[in-house]
Amino acid sequence: MENDNENKYVGSDAVYAEVQRTMRLVAEMNSGYRTEEEVRACLSDITRRTVPADMRVFTPIHINYGPGVSFGSDCFLNFGCTLLALGGITIEDDVFIGPHCVLATEYHPEEPSLRHTLLTKPIVIRQNAWLGANVTVLAGVTIGRNAIVAAGSVVTKDVPDNSVVAGTPARVIREIHQ
């Protein structure tokens, strides 16, 4: 089921300040080699919440709004991921995210007179899901438990539990039998 929660982004000074803070901290985290422990400490500071001790991230990654991101246990984010998180991104336990994935909770209306308005919808990546390299997940999408998103896919709609999706836009190509 598609997520119908839609929020009009109102550019407050507090949000702008948090975006600037996040970008500064992310740049510092990405500026040189960091141990896994150091990366987790940086991400805890960026997200303003405790990052699980078994989570792994290969930097660089890019985040525009740290408090919008929540990481579960035993997750892995590969090199070059981008998290546009003003709408909120929840990554549950045991999720693998391949290199150069984009999770974009933000978008603009089609109507030309409203195009400068920024809208948001949350993204949820459920337990044990796997995103291949160069996957793009758009605002309002939930990736189901145990689902696999094939490399290069653009996900515009919710992905059912225990399914494999591929393509642009991503479509179910088969179920995963356990």
Rounded (5°) CA angle 83-86-88: 75
Domains parsed from the chain with CATH numbers: 7-175 (2.160.10.10)
- Give me the mean pLDDT over the 72-95 stretch: 98
Cα→Cα distances 61→7, 14, 23, 68, 84, Å = 25, 23, 11, 15, 11
* Annotation marks residue 108 as catalytic: yes
Specify the pLDDT at position 11.
64
**Does the bond joining 60 to the residue before it have cis omega, within 30 degrees of 0?**
yes
C-alpha radius of gyration, the chain, whole number: 16
Tokens 């040189």: give the residue: 32
Specify the pLDDT at position 87.
96
Specify the pLDDT at position 12.
80
Specify the pLDDT at position 10.
47
The neighbouring-strand residues paired with 119 are 8, 107
The per-residue pLDDT for range 36-77, each reduced to its tens digit, is 999 999 999 999 999 999 999 999 999 999 999 999 999 999
The per-residue pLDDT for range 13-46, each reduced to its tens digit, is 888 999 999 999 999 999 999 999 999 999 999 9
Contact partners, residue 14, CB within 8 Å, separation at least 6: none
Asked if 99 and 77 touch (Cβ cutoff 8 Å), the reply is: no
Asked if 105 and 84 touch (Cβ cutoff 8 Å), the reply is: yes
Q: Is the pLDDT of residue 9 over 80?
A: no
Lowest-confidence pick of 1-15, 63-77, 81-95, 107-121 = 1-15
- Out of 100, 108, 116, 177, which one is annotated catalytic? 108
Q: Report the mean per-residue pLDDT for the chain.
A: 93
Picking from 103, 112, 92, the residue whose alpha carbon sits closest to that of residue 137 is 103
